Amino acid sequence: MEYVTFGKTGCRVSRLGFGGAVAGLKNYLHSYDPGSEESKKSVYQALETALELGITYFDTAPGYGEGASESMFGEVLGGTAPPKIFLATKCSPTGYDGVIRSVEESLKRLRRDRIDLLQIHGSSYTDENVRDLLGPHGMVEAMEKMKKEGLIRFIGFSSEDNNRGLYDLMNSGRFDEVQLCYNFIFQHPYEPSRPFGSLYEAEKNQLGIAAMRAPTSGTFQRWIKMIRPDDTFDYNRALIQFVFSNPLVDVVLAGMRSAARVRQNVEIAEDMSGRIDLEAVHGRYV
């Protein structure tokens, strides 16, 4: 397993991260019920296999199935402390008191005394959102308070955008990490021929960088089926390796509901021969 230093946190984490969205969301990408015993057992086995194979970065959120994903993580990871794992969860944008309540509930579901990384669970941030989050008695102030109290070690936020709000949050100096949507289809955070993009800005701010939706959440595969209905090639390996090939990405998150999927993704992550030269991919002249 490949390990990296996760930005200014200084923590060593696995480059392959265990994404918890697929564990808690019903019918996300495929037919799936997180409330069934069969599903829970499969996720438990996936988490146990991830631990055995050296994955240390685990990412979840209360919003993944109204706490279902966090509860599954807690069943397996509750008694596992750093440095064996680095556990990240989230809190939807809310007020000062709402953050504190959310963390208290997450700690119970995760069966832990402390969260390694608490992230604002965001999608796109307007200028007003940013002012509210960073303002007096706002969400970030509550996160910083809990950081000082030792309930959380680091704070960050997630975004699927590449707008001014994202840059303002990264440049505020108040975060340790950012989770961005970056993959073969959604390459907006990284344009190396300029160079330009939020990945560069995150690196400049020494933030830990986690990339979500590495296999494109099925977008690329659906497109292929539209233009080549008979195509049976498994593009999953190439899509994940594309994100691993970006030197600015610390952690590549992949959703995993089964032990078999964990083993497949670990094998991909450990196959250095599958990495590509992104500079050459973006080249326009010969």
C-beta of residue 146 within 8 angstroms of C-beta of residue 107: no
Predicted pLDDT at 283: 84
Question: In angstroms, how far apart are the furthest CA atoms of the chain?
Answer: 57
Could you report the average pLDDT of every consecutive run of 10 residues in the chain (286 residues)?
A: 96 96 87 90 96 96 93 91 89 94 96 96 93 96 97 96 94 97 94 91 97 93 94 93 97 95 96 93 83
> What's at 57, amino acid-wise?
Y
Cβ-based neighbours of 110, under 8 Å, separated by 6 or more: 60, 70, 73, 74, 77, 78, 87, 89
Q: Is the dihedral of CA 178, 181, 184, 187 positive or negative?
A: negative
Going along the chain from its start, the domains and CATH numbers come out as: 3-281 (3.20.20.100)
Residue 117, CB-side half-sphere exposure with 13 Å CA sphere: 32
Predicted pLDDT at 27: 87
- Which is nearest to 237 in space by CA: 212, 213, 264? 264
Buried/exposed 15-45: b ≥16 CB within 10 Å, e otherwise? bbbbbbbbbbbeebeeebebeeeebbebbbb
Q: Token pair for residue 164?
A: 């001014």
Would you call the peptide bond into 83 cis, given omega within 30 degrees of 0 as the criterion? yes
Predicted pLDDT at 272: 95
Q: Token pair for residue 157?
A: 């936020």
Residue 270, CB-side half-sphere exposure with 13 Å CA sphere: 10
For residue range 37-74, list pLDDT tens digits in order: 999 999 999 999 999 999 999 999 999 999 999 999 99
Query: 88 has which bridge partners?
Result: 59, 117
C-beta of residue 211 within 8 angstroms of C-beta of residue 197: no
pTM of this structure? 0.94
C-beta of residue 25 within 8 angstroms of C-beta of residue 65: yes
